């Protein structure tokens, strides 16, 4: 009898402890993280004693590596509309940016972003008179500041995009109206909505909200411009820029993430201008580092990106006064992305050490690949090989678990600009223009997981546009 009583008492006590565990599990969510972790560990130990089973302390465990790309663009379409007012050497303008991108997993990403831009420009010139072969040189520079806010929507597929297209187009129109006439457009919509004539667009909440601050310097406009009397003018320009994007991501329920992206870019071009017509070719390179953190501040991932491209453009420019400039061009670009995902506290601490040691630079064993992205499977940089025993932990982590993908794209672009200039003691001008850009991925690769101490680039067909899949 006493044995039964003792057994009943122990079971009753175990039940009380188990109830306490459940209550604690509910309450711990509202405690500070370090306190809740300490109590949770204690509750876990009590539960283990009572049940005789090893309990789960709730700490995340590293999952199997996922080497598929998170954001590989199969096809893209971009539009930019804007206007600009110039007073002397100072320029003010607003632009509206729209992008639709189809990813390798079938999702469609839509971004809409109005921006404000201000620029200051200075020029100086001189020349030498050689009679018929007279040459003149003009140099100068400009600095541009850009502020922008934007919304990004992740749609399941093309079908959902088509369902929302009318509302997307209406939102774009409203944004452009607000940009050119903020008070009048908002007032007219408010009145027409109240009387039942107007129905506002119905879009889901944005998955990402972004704020951008950018600086761009153009050295020489052009850097070196020699003009011969025959009208032919060789030109060379160099542009460098940097910007910071701060984005809030709402695509993961219960975990609103924040990402900061630091971008640096450089571009140089060489061309010939004669009687308003011009042809030029150029090379450009851009690099970016995105640091994403979870809602609690812990490190989610770091993504390193680089794009190298060569392009050509041809167009006709109007003279001073009323102008109409039309330009068409094309380019080929290779983009490489390397992403490190941190899932456990140990991995997150390693990521923080990477940021402390390297700043915005990637681990040393991926630098070669990032500096010179190639589509040749044999040219992947040191990330293709095990870094060895003397490597930093984050270098070994990059080899073991980094997602690496690269893709080559064909790009076609069109630019149109209409404006007028006048001189009344000081130069005054205004212009309006728009541009479009369409891209399609012709080849794509991902870096497979480690095998026998090596990683190899392999073709990734889901990221290749359908019209190009049979070419390779």
pLDDT in tens, 377-406: 565 667 888 888 899 999 999 999 999 999
Q: Which of 12-26, 300-314, 338-352, 442-456 has the lowest mean pLDDT?
A: 12-26
- pLDDT score for 148: 86
- Strand spans (E) along 182-298: 208-219, 226-227, 232-249, 257-274, 277-293
pLDDT band with cut points at 50, 70 and 90 for residue 5: very low
Whole-angstrom Cα distance, residue 290 to residue 293?
A: 10
Residues 131-161 have pLDDT tens digits of: 444 444 445 566 778 788 899 999 999 999 9
DSSP three-state, residue 403: strand
Residue 421, beta-bridge partner list: 429
- pLDDT score for 15: 47
pTM score above 0.85? no
- pLDDT score for 376: 65
Whole-angstrom Cα distance, residue 156 to residue 355?
A: 34
∠ CA 115-144-77 to the nearest 5 degrees?
45
Residues 279-292 have pLDDT tens digits of: 677 788 899 999 99
In the chain, where are the structural domains located? 2-51, 115-148+203-468
Residues 39-70 have pLDDT tens digits of: 455 555 555 655 556 555 555 555 567 889 98
Helix (H) or strand (E) segment spanning residue 55: none
Residue 314, beta-bridge partner list: 279, 328
Q: Which of 112-121, 287-296, 348-357, 442-451 has the lowest mean pLDDT?
A: 112-121
> Do residues 413 and 437 touch, judged by C-beta distance below 8 A?
yes
> Do residues 470 and 459 touch, judged by C-beta distance below 8 A?
no
The mean predicted confidence, pLDDT, of the chain is 78
Residue located via tokens 């893709």: 407
- pLDDT score for 17: 47
The whole-number average pLDDT for the span 300-304 is 97
Distances (CA, A) of 104 to 119, 344, 374, 445: 38, 28, 20, 11
- pLDDT score for 293: 97
Distances (CA, A) of 146 to 199, 306, 315, 316, 358: 32, 21, 26, 27, 28
pLDDT band with cut points at 50, 70 and 90 for residue 454: confident
Could you give the residue ranges of the DSSP H alpha helices within 279-332? none
Residue 282, beta-bridge partner list: 269, 311
DSSP three-state, residue 214: strand
The whole-number average pLDDT for the span 328-347 is 92
> Does the pLDDT at position 88 exceed 80?
no
Residues 67-84 have pLDDT tens digits of: 899 889 999 999 998 877
- pLDDT score for 370: 80
Residues 248-276 have pLDDT tens digits of: 999 999 999 999 999 998 887 766 666 56
Biggest alpha carbon–alpha carbon distance for the chain: 125
> Does the pLDDT at position 467 exceed 80?
yes
Q: What is the dihedral of CA 460, 466, 467, 471, to 10 degrees?
A: 30
> Do residues 282 and 324 touch, judged by C-beta distance below 8 A?
no
Residues 195-209 have pLDDT tens digits of: 988 899 999 999 999
Distances (CA, A) of 294 to 35, 257, 270: 19, 5, 45
- Strand spans (E) along 90-178: 90-103, 108-128, 135-155
Residues 103-126 have pLDDT tens digits of: 999 999 999 998 887 776 655 444
Task: Give long-range contacts, CB 8 A cutoff, 24+ apart: 330-333.
Answer: 330/410, 330/411, 330/412, 330/413, 331/410, 331/411, 331/413, 332/408, 332/409, 332/410, 332/411, 333/307, 333/308, 333/309, 333/408, 333/409, 333/411, 333/439
């Amino acid at each position: 009898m006493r044995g039964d009583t003792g057994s009943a008492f122990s079971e009753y006590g175990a039940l009380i402890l188990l109830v306490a565990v459940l209550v604690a599990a509910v309450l711990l969510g509202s405690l500070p993280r370090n306190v809740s972790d300490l109590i949770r560990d204690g509750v876990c130990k009590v539960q283990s004693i009572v049940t005789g089973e090893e309990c789960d302390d709730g700490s995340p465990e590293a999952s199997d590596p996922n080497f598929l790309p998170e954001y590989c663009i199969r096809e893209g379409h971009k539009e930019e509309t804007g206007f600009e007012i110039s007073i002397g050497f100072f320029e003010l303008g607003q632009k509206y940016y729209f992008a639709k991108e189809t990813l390798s997993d079938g999702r469609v990403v839509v971004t809409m972003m109005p921006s404000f831009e201000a620029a200051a420009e200075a020029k100086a010139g001189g020349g030498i008179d050689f009679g018929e072969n007279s040459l003149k040189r003009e140099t100068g520079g400009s600095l541009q500041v850009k502020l922008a806010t934007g919304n990004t929507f992740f749609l399941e597929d093309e079908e959902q995009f088509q369902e929302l297209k009318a509302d997307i187009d209406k939102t774009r129109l409203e944004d452009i109206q607000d940009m050119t006439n903020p008070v009048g457009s908002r007032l007219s919509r408010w009145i027409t909505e109240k009387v039942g004539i107007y129905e506002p667009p119905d879009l889901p909440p944005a998955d990402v909200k972004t704020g951008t601050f950018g600086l761009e310097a153009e050295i020489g406009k052009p850097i070196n411009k020699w003009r011969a009397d025959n009208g032919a003018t060789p030109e060379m320009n160099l542009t460098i820029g940097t910007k910071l994007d701060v984005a809030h991501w709402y695509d993961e329920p219960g975990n609103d993430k924040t990402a900061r992206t630091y971008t640096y870019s450089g571009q140089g071009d060489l061309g010939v201008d004669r009687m308003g017509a011009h042809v030029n070719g150029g090379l450009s390179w851009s690099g970016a580092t995105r640091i994403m953190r979870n809602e609690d501040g812990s490190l989610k991932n770091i993504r390193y990106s680089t794009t190298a491209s060569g392009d050509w453009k041809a167009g006709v420019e109007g003279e001073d006064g009323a102008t109409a400039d039309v330009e068409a061009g094309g380019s080929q670009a290779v983009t490489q992305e390397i992403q490190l995902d941190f899932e456990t506290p140990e991995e997150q601490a390693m990521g923080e050490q990477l940021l402390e040691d390297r700043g915005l630079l990637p681990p040393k064993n991926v630098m070669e690949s990032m500096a010179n992205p190639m589509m040749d499977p044999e040219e992947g940089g040191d990330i293709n090989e095990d870094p060895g025993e003397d490597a930093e932990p984050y270098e070994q982590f990059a080899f073991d678990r980094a997602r690496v993908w690269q893709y080559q794209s064909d790009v076609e672009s069109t630019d149109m600009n209409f404006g007028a200039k006048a001189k009344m003691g000081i130069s005054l001008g205004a212009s309006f223009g728009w541009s479009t850009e369409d891209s399609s991925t012709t080849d794509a690769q991902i870096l497979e997981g480690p095998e026998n101490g090596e990683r190899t680039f392999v073709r990734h067909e889901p990221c290749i546009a359908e019209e190009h899949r049979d070419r390779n």
